A and B are shown apart, each in its own frame.
Chain A
Amino acid sequence: MSVFFLYTAIGLTVIIAIPAYRVVKGPTIFDRLVGTNAIATKTIVLILLIGYLYGRVDMFIDITLAYAVLGFIGSLAIAKYFAIKEKNDE
């Protein structure tokens, strides 16, 4: 079962590397933000699988929870910033 988790983590790394194309080559800044949001979402699963590889899931679940909360707060703060800045410009 550990071999299955290893190959799943490798495949998930390839899946995470795909939205980096949209981050580098987005037409607008919101495309880049959506790309970083997708990468942060998929990293949650990668951290859980790494926890199973090391055999210490009870520690890595707490790291995952903190990472999910931080990514969500960051994405929401950037979205609020862009929404407010336009309102002040006009």
Chain B
Amino acid sequence: MNDWQIIGSVVFIIAGLFFLLIGSVGLVRLPDFYSRTHAVSKSDTLGLLLVIMGLTIYEGWNLNTAKFFLISVFIALANPIGAHALARAANLRGIKPLLKDSEREKS
């Protein structure tokens, strides 16, 4: 195992954890349902892809590398699709987005 391999994997995993933390904090702090889906879908997908890329660098060339690639492709497809389906269902149920002149509700 190379030294540069370990350094690169640590850097990528810590960057991914940073983006996962941003997604969690945004889910709690943001005032509206649609902005919460925005925080969850984008930041979580980026953080997951960064962590899986770091684990791939740590693993090297293996059979596990192909499985990691499969997981990352599936996550990059499935996570925004799930968030979009939830937002579409909420829009059909009649949940209004928080616009500029609508009053801010306590949540």
> Which A residues have a C-beta under 8 Å from some C-beta of B?
1, 4, 8, 11-12, 15-16, 18-19, 21-22, 27-28, 30-31, 33-35, 37-38, 41-42, 44-45, 48, 52, 57-58, 61-62, 64-65, 68-69, 72, 75-76, 79-80, 82-83, 86-87
Q: Given the known A-B contacts A21-B28, A86-B92, A87-B92, are A41 and B44 also in contact in the complex, defined by CB atoms under 8 Å?
A: yes
> B82-95, CB under 8 A of A: which get 1 and which 0?
11011011101111
Report the nearest A residue to B67, measured CB to CB: A61
Our count of residue pairs bridging A and B at CB distance below 8 angstroms stands at: 127
Task: Indicate if the CB atoms of A65 and B89 lie closer than 8 Å.
Answer: no
Task: Indicate if the CB atoms of B107 and A37 lie closer than 8 Å.
Answer: no
Q: Given the known A-B contacts A57-B59, A61-B64, A72-B82, are A41 and B48 also in contact in the complex, defined by CB atoms under 8 Å?
A: yes
Contacts A31-B33, A38-B23 known; list 4 others, CB within 8 Å: A1-B6, A42-B24, A68-B75, A79-B89
When distances are taken between beta carbons in the complex, the residues of chain A under 8 Å from B27 are 18-19, 22, 34-35, 38
When distances are taken between beta carbons in the complex, the residues of chain A under 8 Å from B107 are 27
Name 12 A/B residue pairs within 8 A (Cβ), A-sorted: A1-B6, A18-B25, A33-B86, A37-B86, A38-B24, A42-B48, A48-B55, A58-B64, A65-B71, A69-B74, A72-B79, A76-B85
